Chains A and B, each alone.
Chain A
Amino acid sequence: MNKYITAYYNDEEDLLKGIKQLKSKGIDVADVMTPFPVHGLDKALGFRRSRLTRVAFIGGAIGGLTGFLFQAWVFTKAYPLNFGGKPFFAVPSFIPVTFEMTVLFAAFSMVIAFFIRSNIGPGAKTIIHDERSTDDRFLLVVDIQEDEEVKQVEKALAEAGALGIQFKA
C-alpha cells in the first residue's frame, strides 16, 4: 500500500482554487472525491475526454447489425414464410427491431464498460477515506513517493486552504 495525504475543502470553488495552487507548486493531485460532479474539475485535473461514447457507438453498431442481419437471415434463408405475398426481404418491417437492438446494445455495452473501467460493480470493495465525501466534503488525495515529501506537501496543502490534512501510510 502506498502512502498518501488526504485533505478536504468545504466548497467546490475553494477546491478548484486549491488544486490550481498545488499544481503551480508541482504537486500532483492523485484523486478528488466529491459529493457531486464539479464543473471545471476535469480541466483542472487534466482529464481527457471519456472514450465511453465510442464504446456506445461500437456496441450500438453491433446490436443494430445483429438485429437486422438476423431478421434478414430468418426471412430469406432459414424459414421464408409468405405473408400475403409481401416481399421476404422486407426492410421497413425490420426497422423497429433493428432500432431497439441498437439502443439496447449501445446502452448496455457503455454501462458495462463504465463499470469495468472504473473498477466498480456489485459489492466492489473500495477505500472510503472520509464518509462525508459523499455528503458535503470535497476530498483531495496526494500520493507520497518518499517520506521527505510529507512535510512539504502538508505545508503546500495548508497554504492552499485545505482542511483536515492527514498523512496515511
Chain B
Amino acid sequence: MYVSPIREPLIKGNKDYSQVTKDILAPMAGTPSKYWYMGMTIAGAAALFGAWASFMTVFYGIGTWGTNKTIGWAWDITNFVWWVGIGHAGTFISAILLLFRQKWRTSINRSAEAMTLIAIACAGFFPLIHMGRLLLGFFIFPYPNTRALWVNFNSPLLWDVFAISTYFAVSLVFWYVGLIPDIGTVRDKAKDKIRKAIYGFLSFGWTGSAKHWSRHETISLILAGLAAPLVLSVHTIVSFDFATSVIPGWHTTIFPPYFVSGAIFSGFAMVLTLLIVTRKALHLEDYITVNHVESMNKIIILTGSIVGIAYLTEFFMAWYSGVEYETYAFFNRAFGPYAWAYWIMMTCNVITPQLFWFKKIRTNLVATFIISIFVNIGMWFERFVIVVTSLHRDYLPSSWTMYKPTIVEVGLYVGTLGLFFTLFLLFIRVFPVIAIAEIKSVLKSSGEHQKHADHE
C-alpha cells in the first residue's frame, strides 16, 4: 500500500487494535474524576437557573422579559440562531468531510455529532419558550383539527419547524447508526451483568458480520449525502426567518450563504472549545492531535473570512442600493447606540480568526482555545446585532426604543449553556467519545507505528 511519507500520522503512538479499544473505552470505566463532578456541579447549577427562568416565563408570561412592542424578538431568537449554528459543525464534520474523504474526521466526528444533537435541543427550547404558552406548542404542527385549519406553509417560521425537527431526527439517526458498532464493543468489553444487558439492548444485537458492515457502509454514505444538503438547508431556512421580511438590515439575499458559513464558523469554534478540554481530561491526546486542531483552525479561517466578506458586502449594498432606510439601518449598527455590540462582533469574528494564518498560533492549543471562545462570543453578538439593531429603530421614529435583557432572559440563556454542558458531560461517560471502529479502519494507513513499519 502506498503511504504518503510527508503526511503526519493521524493517530500517535504505537497502537494495535486492542490498544485503541482500551484507550477509547477508558474514560467510561470506573468512577468519574473530581473535575467531572466539578463540571457537573457548575453546569447543573446553571441548568437550575434556567429552570427557574423557565418557570417564571411560563407562570408570569413573556412580560418578565425585556422585549417590548418595537423589539419583539431579542435574546430568544438570538440564542436560537446561535445554538442552531453551533450544531452545524457536527453535521459538517460527519457528513461533508465524509463525502470529501477527510480521514482526520474520524477522531472528532462522534463528539461533534453529539454536540450537534445537544445544541439543537438547546436551540429548540427557545422557539417553544417564546410562545409563552408552552401547552399550545403543538399548534405549529399540521394536524387535523376541529377548526379545519392548517398551518401556514408560506411562512418561514413554519419551514423552520420542519427544518429543525428533520435536522434533529436525521442527525440522531446518523449518530446512532454510527454508534451501534461501538456500543457492541462496549457490550463485549463490559464486565458486570447489568452493564452488559443495557449495552446489549442498545447495541441492537450488533455482531460485526461482514454483510452488516457492508450495509452499514452503504447507509453511512447515503446518510452523509442526505445530511450534507440538509445542514445547508437548515441555516438557509433559519436565515429566511429574517430575509423574507421587509425590515431594513434583514431583507437581503446574501443571508443564506452568510448564515451557513457563520454557522459552520461558530460550530467549529465550539467543537474546539470542547475538544481541547476533552482530549486533555480524557487523555486522548494520541487521537485528537495538534494536526486535528490545525485542520479545524483552517476551516475557521475560511468560514471566518466568508463571514467577514459578507459583513462588508452588506455595508456596500446598503450604500449602493440607495435605499434610505437600508443605509440608515447599517449606519445605525456601526455608529448608533448599539455600536459597542457591533464592534465586539467585528473584532471577534473578522479580526481574531485571521490570527490563524500564523502557523505558530493555529498549532498552539492555548491560543486556539482563547480564540475559539472569542469566536463563540462574536457569533452570539452577530445574531444580537442583526436582531436588535434592525428592530430598535424602525420606520416610525416615535416608536424607537432600546432593549435590555431581564434576569429571566439571562437565566434562560445560561440555563441552556448549563443543559449543554450537563448533557455533554453525561455523554462522555455513557458512550465512547471517539468512533472506535472508524479509527481502527484508518489505523493502518494513518497510524504512527504502521506508517513507520512500511518504510523500514
Which A residues are within 8 Å of any B CB, using their own CB?
31-38, 41-42, 45, 47, 49-50, 52-53, 56, 60, 70-71, 74-75, 78-79, 81, 83, 86, 90, 93-94, 96-97, 99-101, 103-104, 106-108, 110-111, 114-115, 117-128, 131-136, 139
Cβ contact within 8 Å between A121 and B189 = no
| Binding-face segment, B63-71, B78-86, B109-117, B229-237 | B229-237
Q: How many A-B residue pairs have CB under 8 A?
A: 187
Q: Is the CB of B153 within 8 A of A134?
A: no
Q: Which of A47, A86, A126, A135 has the most CB of B within 10 A?
A: A135
Q: Which 6 A-B pairs have the closest CB atoms?
A: A124-B205, A136-B17, A126-B205, A96-B159, A32-B210, A36-B437
The majority secondary structure among interface residues of chain B is helix
Q: Are B154 and A127 in contact (CB under 8 A)?
A: no
Interface presence of B313 (CB below 8 A): no
B360 within 8 A of A: no
Quick one: which of B170, B177, B207, B240 contacts A126, CB cutoff 8 A?
A: B207
In the bound complex, do residue B162 and residue A100 qualify as a contact, i.e. CB atoms below 8 Å apart? yes
Chain B residues with Cβ under 8 A from A117's Cβ?
A: 215
The smallest beta-carbon distance between B364 and chain A, in angstroms, is 33
B366 within 8 A of A: no
Chain A residues lying within 8 Å of B159, measured Cβ to Cβ, are 96-97, 100
The answer to whether the Cβ of B188 comes within 8 Å of any Cβ in the partner chain is: yes
Whether B166 contacts A100 by the Cβ 8 Å rule is: yes
21 residue pairs A–B, Cβ–Cβ below 8 Å: A31-B211, A32-B210, A33-B209, A35-B21, A35-B181, A36-B441, A38-B213, A41-B214, A45-B211, A47-B214, A83-B154, A96-B156, A96-B162, A100-B230, A103-B233, A104-B170, A115-B204, A121-B204, A132-B188, A135-B21, A136-B17
Contact A33 B207 (CB under 8 A): yes
Contact of A136 among B16, B154, B212 (CB under 8 A): B16
Taken together as a complex, chains A and B put the C-alpha atoms of A47 and B216 apart, in Å, by 14
Contacts of A42 in B (CB 8 A): 210, 214
Q: Are A135 and B148 in contact (CB under 8 A)?
A: no
Q: Contact between B213 and A37 (Cβ–Cβ < 8 Å)? A: yes
Asked whether any CB of chain A lies closer than 8 Å to the CB of B42, the reply is: no
Q: How far is the CA of A124 from the CA of B204 in the complex (A)?
A: 5
A47 contact set on B, CB distance < 8 A: 210-211, 214
B154 and A135 contact, CB distance less than 8 A: no
Residues from chain B with Cβ under 8 Å of A115 in the complex: 204
B185 within 8 A of A: yes
Who on chain A is nearest to B244 by CB? A93
Considering the chains assembled together, what is the distance between the CA atoms of A90 and B185 in angstroms? 51
CB–CB B181/A134 < 8 A: yes
Q: Indicate if B245 sits at the interface (CB-CB under 8 A).
A: no
Contact B169 A45 (CB under 8 A): no
Among B150, B202, B210, B211, residue most surrounded by chain A Cβ atoms (within 10 Å): B210
Given contacts A32-B209, A34-B210, A36-B441, contact A111 B169 (CB under 8 A): no
B370 within 8 A of A: no
